[in-house]
Amino acid sequence: MFVVMATDGRDSRWDEHRATRRTELVSHSLRAIRVHGPGVGMEEIAARAGTSKTVIYRHFGGRAGLYDAVVGAVHGYIRDSLTVALQDTEVGDAGHLVETLADSYLSLVEKDPHIYRFVMNGPGGSGAIDPAGRVPSTIAAYVATIITDHRGTHGVSESCARTWGHGFVGFVQAVADRWMDQPDREPRDVVVQQISQLLTPAFADAMSAPANS
């Protein structure tokens, strides 16, 4: 005889509570990073959240787990920002595509430099680039999708789109890192134009050529 066990509604409510609490803690972490910088400590994050490190460890398992959650939130923000920025980009308009992507990336870096350095430094906060390369890889994968969508009727292989996406993001990332390190850095629009001057002709030629297999 089989007994069907009813699902305890309290379990689902507890799951919802934990998810909500994790989201709140990530928001507090982002605020703490903006105040204390990319080397923010768990004590400072806990203080900002009005709780203890023990609570954070319970929800995330430690700094690495919290870092992953913060990166996930940043990924979502970047994706949403790029989506909005590219809504009016015409199919095949390589110049607009390059300028919009470069400006969106640099705008995010300029607006939240501490957040940018936190997610790029990895969970240890030692200053080493995240070995998994999750942030640039995720952006590059999304850019590859955008390139495919804006390729017009020619189409483009996924492999080629990934090559272009990673190449573009790698270039802009290197420019952004150098730009943010300059105490007397140029205005963002000047740097965007410099990027566009170099990359727009390359993208225009590539996107007008026959599809690559």
**Residues 192/198/202/205 CA torsion (nearest 10 deg):** 90
CATH number at residue 89: 1.10.357
With beta carbons less than 8 A apart as the criterion, state whether 73 and 30 touch.
yes
Tell me if 23 is assigned to some domain: no
With beta carbons less than 8 A apart as the criterion, state whether 151 and 207 touch.
yes
The C-alpha atoms of residue 61 and residue 18 are separated, in whole angstroms, by 13
Joined tokens for residue 172? 């802009």
Return per-residue pLDDT of the chain as tens, 213 residues.
444 555 556 667 777 888 899 999 999 999 999 999 999 999 999 999 999 999 999 999 888 889 889 988 888 887 787 777 777 666 567 788 888 889 988 988 899 999 988 888 777 644 444 544 567 787 888 888 877 776 554 567 888 888 988 999 899 999 999 999 888 999 999 999 999 999 999 888 877 765 554
Joined tokens for residue 106? 């640099």
**Tally of structural domains, the chain:** 1
The C-alpha atoms of residue 108 and residue 121 are separated, in whole angstroms, by 16
Residue type at 139 in one-letter notation: I
pLDDT digits (tens, 9 = 90+) for 129-188: 454 456 778 788 888 887 777 655 456 788 888 898 899 989 999 999 999 988 899 999
Is the entire prediction scored with pTM above 0.85? Answer: no
Q: What are the Cα distances from residue 75, in Å, to 133, 156, 211?
A: 12, 25, 30
The C-alpha atoms of residue 124 and residue 130 are separated, in whole angstroms, by 9
Tell me if 145 is assigned to some domain: yes
Tell me if 43 is assigned to some domain: no
DSSP, residue by residue, 105-140: HHHHHHH-HHHHHHHHH-TT-SSPPPTT-HHHHHHH
The parent domain of residue 167 ranges over 67-206
Tell me if 174 is assigned to some domain: yes
The C-alpha atoms of residue 29 and residue 176 are separated, in whole angstroms, by 24
Tell me if 144 is assigned to some domain: yes
The C-alpha atoms of residue 97 and residue 165 are separated, in whole angstroms, by 12
**List of E strands, the chain:** none
Tell me if 44 is assigned to some domain: no
With beta carbons less than 8 A apart as the criterion, state whether 104 and 189 touch.
no
